[in-house]
């Protein structure tokens, strides 16, 4: 499975995990799992919420086939 680019996008956007938590309403432990690819079964809705908060498209963070696996 390919790694997500969430940490990289956050870095380039200058967004910390705490800031992303506030922007998305997703809890710190949940975000940590997502950032570190430890969250199996990531829902598309959650990915969309994160991408929107960062001002990018979902496929800028997760590979196009991410949700098929």
Give the residue-averaged pLDDT of 2-24.
93
CATH code where residue 14 lies:
1.10.260.40
Q: What is the pTM of this model?
A: 0.86
Q: How many domains does the chain have?
A: 1
Give the pLDDT score at 28: 95
In this predicted structure, the answer to whether residue 9 has a pLDDT above a threshold of 70 is yes
CA dihedral of 45, 49, 52, 53, whole degrees rounded to 10: -170
Residue with tokens 């680019």: 5
pLDDT tens for 26-65 read 999 999 999 998 888 889 899 999 999 999 999 999 876 6
Distance CA 66, CA 69 (A): 6
CA angle 25/39/48 to nearest 5° reads: 45
pLDDT at 2: 61
Q: What does the pLDDT read at residue 39?
A: 83
Domain, as residue range, for 16: 6-68
């Amino acid at each position: 499975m390919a790694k997500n680019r969430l940490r990289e996008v956050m870095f380039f956007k200058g967004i910390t995990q705490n800031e992303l938590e506030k922007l998305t309403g997703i809890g710190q432990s949940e975000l940590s799992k997502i950032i570190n690819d430890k969250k199996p079964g990531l829902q598309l809705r959650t990915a969309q919420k994160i991408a929107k908060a960062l001002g990018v498209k979902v496929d800028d963070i997760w590979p196009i086939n991410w949700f098929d696996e």
